[in-house]
Amino acid sequence: MRVALKIAYVGTGYHGSQVQPDVATIEGELFNALTQLEIIEDPKTARFSSSGRTDAGVHAREQIVAFDTDKPNLAIPRVINSKLPNSIWAWAHAEVPDDFDPRRWAISRKYRYIMSGEQYDIAKIRTASKMLVGEHDFANFCTKEGDKSTVRNVEKIDVRVSGTLTKIDIQANSFLWNMVRKIVTALTMVGSGVRDEEWLLQMLDPESYEEGLESSAAYGLTLMEVEYPEPINWCEDAYAIRRATDNVHDYLVRHRVMAEVMDHLVPNE
C-alpha cells in the first residue's frame, strides 16, 4: 500500500528537509523513525518522495511525503511521532494511488513569510507585490540550478499587517530555489525606498537586466500548503495534533521569555 503523510516541523537546527550525510535533516529523522518502526525497510525500496525541499532553518505546516509499506496499520501519525523529536510531527495520513508522487502531482504550493514590518511602507509593498503576480521569468529571484527553466506562475501574493509583524503569503504552481526569500528581499527593498517599481519591472526581464539578491532570513519562512488536482482523503489524527499543540506552546513560552531576556541584555541609556 502507498501511504501519504502531512508533516509539520520547526526547521531551526536542521540542515533543510532533504536528507544529507553527517548532518541533521527532516528526512533523516523521518527515515530513522520509519525504519525503526519497520514501516519501511529503506527509503529507496519504499519509493519515498516528498512534495519538495525546504532549506536550512525553514519550517513547514504541511509538507507531504509518500512511501510504500506493507504495514499500513503502523503508518499513522501517533505511531510515527513516538520515534520523532518534538520539533517534527506527522498529523494526517491517507491511502494514495500506487503511482502517487507528492512533488510531480502537486499543482500549487503556498508559503508564508513573517517579518517585522515597522520599517517598511506596506502600501508600497502591496503595490509592488501585484507586479509579480502572473507568469514571469524569475531568474533574478532565485538561485539557479543548471538549465532548469526559471519561468513560474505566481497565482497570488497577499500582504497583511498583524501588529508589528507583516505576513506575506505567496502561492504559485511551483517555486525555484530561494525564490520566496528573494521575492521578500525585493519587496522590502521597494518598501524601504531603496528601490522603486521601475527596478522591479527590470528584474522581471532577466534577458536584458541581471542583478543578484540576498535571500531573506530562513527563520521567517514556512511551507503552508500543497494542493493536488484530485482531493486526497486525509485522516487527521486528533491525538497527534493535540500533542503538537502542546509542543508548539512550549516553543512559544520559551521564545517569549527569550525576547524579554534579550531586551534586558542591553544597558539602558
Catalytic residues: 55
Say which residues have a Cβ less than 8 Å from residue 45's Cβ, sequence separation at least 6: 68
Cβ contacts of 39-48, under 8 Å, gap ≥ 24: 39/67, 39/69, 39/71, 39/74, 39/75, 39/80, 40/67, 40/68, 40/69, 43/19, 43/67, 47/2
Which CA distances in Å does 91 have to 16, 29, 134, 156, 221? 20, 16, 33, 27, 20
- Annotated binding residue 111: yes
Give the integer Cα–Cα distance in Å for 236 and 72.
15
Sign, Cα dihedral of 137, 206, 222, 21 = positive
Give the integer Cα–Cα distance in Å for 39 and 15.
25
Q: Cell for 202?
A: 527590470
CB distance 91 to 6 below 8 Å: yes
Q: Considering only CA atoms, which of 34, 76, 27, 80 is closest in space to residue 52?
A: 27
- Binding-site residues for substrate sit at 111
- Binding-site residues sit at 111
